[in-house]
Amino acid sequence: MMSDLSTKKKNVFSISQYSFILIFIALFIVYFLFSTSLTWTGVTNILRHSAVIGVISLGMGLVIVTGDIDLSVGAMLSFVSSFACIVFNLTDSIFLVLCFCLLSGTLLGLINGVMIGKFRLPAFIVTLGTQMIMRSIAQYTCNRLPVVVKGVGGNTFKMIRLDNGSFDKLFRFGNGKFLSFPNCGLIFILIAILFVYITTSTKYGKKLFAIGSNSRAAHMSGINVEMTRISVFSIVGLLVGVGAFMLLAMQGNVDPATTGKNFEMYAIATVVLGNISMSGGKGRFIGIIFGTLSYTVIDKIIAVLKVDSLINDAIKGGILLLAIVIQAASPLIKNYMSSKKQTSKK
Amino acid sequence: MKDICKSFVGVPVLKGVDLEVESGEVHALLGENGAGKSTLMNILTGVHRCNEGKVVFNGEDITNCSISKSESAGIAFVHQELNLFNDLRVYENIFFNKELTNKLGTLKKHEMIGKCNEVFEKLGVDIDPTVSVDSLSASDKQTIEIAKAIFFEAHLLILDEPTTALSNEEIDHLFQMIEDLKKEGRSFVFISHKMPEIFRIADRYTILRNGEMIESGFISDTTPQQVTAKMVGSSLANSFDYEKRPLGDTVLKIDNLSSKAFDDVSLDVKKGEIVAFTGLQGSGASEVLQCIFGEIPPSEGCIYVKGLKAGKNSIHNSMKHGVGFLPSNRKENSVLPDMSIIENMYVSEHSLSSNKFHIFPQQEKTRYDVMKQNLGIKANDEKDLVVSLSGGNQQKIFFARWLNTDADILLFDNPTQGIDVGAKAEIYKLILHLASKGKTIIFNSLEIPEVMRLADRCVVFYSGRIAAILNHDDITEHKVMMYATNAVLNNGEKYNDV
């Protein structure tokens, strides 16, 4: 299933299954044409700006492959990065911030997972609830803490810059480059490669597809559906933690009201754009990489055109619909092509 | 109904069947699973169309009419699985789609509730029309179905195995209701496998076998034994490929196992033995298998696998002890439709060996090829979707799924369900071959010829208990049916050779 390209006959038809690459290339060409002076930095910046939403989309991909959904990722990003900011301001330790991001993310994911996997509550409702709770708590806390802890007045958190250079180190890491690629973009690509590996070549990955395909049959085949669901939501939490850490490293401040706003929707959209079936059990994770990059390129195009950025979502929504129409139409086209082939043979 | 013929995709299911039901009588329609009873009733109610023949009801020709036409003519089908909306109230269910309304379309709730109460009183039941259906017992639900039929002036009620979910007391009440309605001139077609009930309630009977009408007559002129014999026919044990095999030590011991669906089941199974479970639908045989596999927790009793007491009741635990289970209803319980053939074959092995994270495709392919050859699986590419295979080949993949885990106690629930005759024969050969290789096999089947061909011993279940354990040479369709329908106990005779 993962390597349909192996036979020549299938090669012709599987282009439609890789529609996300075509969409990305088309968007990239548009970007290239409109931006008068596109530099290498401009290109690699696409990766940088895809990093946070990208890792979150990978997590969303896992959840959707098992047939569930996680609406809490955006709020979780806001929650984890807000409190990580407090941790930094209190301890001035990058290490502790990293630990806090990863652990609290995993824990929050675990809570979602236990409610969904163990107690069989519907994922849509559970994560809708935790979404509202987490963002609200982050905002509430923000309004109530003294400036010493928040780092800045008003409704945002800011990492305090002390002389010992911790903040500078973190900031340099977040905005630094390795072999001309932005660090955060590289982290995203590494994690994406890891997830492509997990979903194509490991027993754990196959389990996820099995559950999404037919959870009853998966259960009867000996898969521990409960534990796997819990693990999936925990992994999403962990990835959100990674995203929160990268977010802090890149910008050093958090607005709990707007950070990660609608990220769950963007993540779902990129997953769909990447040709992963919303009903679960089907799809390739490589699609998520291209889905995310496509959405970042749209942002870039709008920035280049100097259009009001409020039109952004209309374009993203349009692309999403276009992608799904292509996906839905491709089997029809395939049938048409093969029937034509048969008649011509006769 | 006269000369009804019906074929599905070229396969004849009914061959010239006659059925005559007089007004005010209870007519028992008898036959084994797959004899054509349901198809016949579906033609009567307009669900299916017949290829030949005529259906006349109260002098009116209603051959091949629509469902709503047959309903308005006065035929009501009370299905085995009740067709009620569990979240709606009782009266809403009864009046569903036929609500009483005033001119503006507003529901006349009080009138509907009042009418419900009248009918319930007449039927002698105490049901509050305003409670929601899911709070009711199975027998109350059945009553509602019958009440629904009476409301809309049904003259002929078809009851498809109405007693499966009922207790004895509830059955008494149902029969009382049927008696009362009979006096009003309403007729019943009563489909059941349980001889005692048929002989208690029915006036006449019609027996179908393999789509043919075997006999029709008055219940008072016959005996349960004669009826069973005619249902089964004269087909003899066709055990040409069965051979006696030497058996090993006891590998599976079940001790007083009980749960909701079965009671006090004890059994010893030896290494290399093929044990068949059989019984009517709902006899608990399938549930015993599920319990051994760890899918249903037992309320009492113990399972010993290879002398060790099974600890935690879980599927994973059973698998570690070398138990494999092929569930019934392949599509729901086995098929992973979005996954390839090889992925479907490996899913169980993966869950056993999940500590070894990485998949080595080449190793898997080698093993798949061996399996493919051994089981005679016909498939082009192991990366094709499993749903591209025929039913029989899919089933072989699921056999392979468990053989791949090196399970040596294999439980098969209805392994030949929904596959054609040729593939069935291959599956039989496979089961015998596996047993000769030392695998221990327990399978549940409703088809007695299958049991006769394969089983060293046959365990017959009747309403959750073991009714009899027959040795290979003693298994006949006749005997099995007798025990499975409880015809034996009711007539005071028992077979001595058990």
pTM of the model: 0.77
Residue-averaged pLDDT of chain A: 86
Closest C-alpha to B454, from B469, B468, B434: B434
Q: Do A216 and B332 touch (CB under 8 A)?
A: yes
Residue B187 pLDDT > 60: yes
- The per-residue pLDDT for B491 is 46
The ipTM of this complex is 0.82
Range of the domain at A290: 41-328
What are the residue ranges spanned by the domains of chain B? 2-232, 250-490
Q: Do B351 and A213 touch (CB under 8 A)?
A: no
Chain A positions in Cβ-Cβ contact with residue B354 (cut-off 8 Å): 203-204, 207
Q: What is the DSSP string of A80-121?
A: HHHHHHHHHHHH--HHHHHHHHHHHHHHHHHHHHIIIIIS--
Q: Is residue A172 part of a domain?
A: yes
Q: What is the mean pLDDT of residues A301-323?
A: 84
Do residues B163 and B454 touch, judged by C-beta distance below 8 A? no
- The per-residue pLDDT for B275 is 92
Residue B137 pLDDT > 70: yes
Q: What is the pLDDT of residues B206-223, one digit of tens each?
A: 888 877 888 888 888 888
Detail the DSSP E strand segments found in A105-216: 157-158, 177-178, 181-182
Chain A positions in Cβ-Cβ contact with residue B319 (cut-off 8 Å): 222
Q: What is the pLDDT of residues B306-318, one digit of tens each?
A: 888 877 778 888 8
Q: Is residue A173 part of a domain?
A: yes
Q: Is residue A95 part of a domain?
A: yes
User: Which of A 190-229 lie inside 8 A of B, CB atoms?
Assistant: 201-204, 206-207, 209-210, 212-214, 216-224
Q: Do A207 and B340 touch (CB under 8 A)?
A: no
Do residues B463 and B473 touch, judged by C-beta distance below 8 A? no
Which site among B314, B336, B349 would you substitute to test the A interface, given the most A Cβ atoms closer than 10 Å to its Cβ?
A: B336
Q: Do A4 and B383 touch (CB under 8 A)?
A: yes
Tell me if the domain spanning B2-232 has CATH number 2.60.40.10.
no
d(CA B242, CA A202): 42
Tell me whether strands B465-471 and B274-279 are parallel, antiparallel or unpaired. unpaired
Which site among B291, B295, B330, B351 would you substitute to test the A interface, given the most A Cβ atoms closer than 10 Å to its Cβ?
A: B351
Q: For A224, which of B316, B335, B357 is closest by C-beta distance?
A: B316
CATH superfamily of B250-490: P-loop containing nucleotide triphosphate hydrolases (3.40.50.300)
The residue type of B85 is F
Q: What is the mean pLDDT of residues A94-109?
A: 95
d(CA B363, CA B359): 9
Residue-averaged pLDDT of chain B: 82
Closest C-alpha to B40, from B57, B26, B25, B55: B55
- The per-residue pLDDT for A132 is 94
Do residues B376 and B393 touch, judged by C-beta distance below 8 A? no
d(CA A228, CA A218): 11
Handedness of CA A288, A292, A294, A295 (dihedral sign): positive
Residue B10 pLDDT > 70: no
B236 pLDDT band (50/70/90 cuts)? very low
Q: Is residue A346 part of a domain?
A: no
Q: Is B220 exposed, middle or buried (0-12, 13-18, 19+ CB in 10 A)?
A: exposed
A8 pLDDT band (50/70/90 cuts)? very low
Which of A284-298, B102-116, B224-238 is predicted with the least confidence, judged by mean pLDDT?
Answer: B224-238
Q: Do A6 and B325 touch (CB under 8 A)?
A: no
Could you give the number of structural domains in chain A? 1
Residue A329 pLDDT > 90: no
- The per-residue pLDDT for B4 is 61
A9 pLDDT band (50/70/90 cuts)? very low
Q: Which residues of A246-260 are buried (b: 16+ CB within 10 A; e: fewer)?
A: bbbbbbbbbbbeebb
Chain A positions in Cβ-Cβ contact with residue B381 (cut-off 8 Å): 7
Q: Is residue A121 part of a domain?
A: yes
User: Which of B 292-331 lie inside 8 A of A, CB atoms?
Assistant: 295, 315-316, 319, 325, 327
Do residues A100 and A245 touch, judged by C-beta distance below 8 A? no
Q: What is the pLDDT of residues B85-110, one digit of tens each?
A: 888 888 888 887 777 777 777 878 88
Residue B82 pLDDT > 70: no
User: Which of A 251-310 lie inside 8 A of B, CB atoms?
Assistant: 277, 280-282
Highest average pLDDT, of A175-184, B6-15, B164-173, comes from A175-184
Do residues B205 and B198 touch, judged by C-beta distance below 8 A? yes
Q: What is the mean pLDDT of residues A43-70?
A: 93
Q: Do A202 and B357 touch (CB under 8 A)?
A: yes
Could you tell me how many CB contacts below 8 A there are between chain A and chain B? 93
Chain B positions in Cβ-Cβ contact with residue A280 (cut-off 8 Å): 338
- The per-residue pLDDT for A343 is 62
Q: Is residue A129 part of a domain?
A: yes
Q: Do B359 and A202 touch (CB under 8 A)?
A: yes
Q: Is residue A169 part of a domain?
A: yes
- The per-residue pLDDT for B493 is 47
Q: Is residue A152 part of a domain?
A: yes
Residue B487 pLDDT > 60: yes
B77 pLDDT band (50/70/90 cuts)? confident
Q: Which helix (H) or strand (E) holds A286?
A: helix A286-305
* Residue B385 at interface with chain A, using a CB cutoff of 8 Å: yes
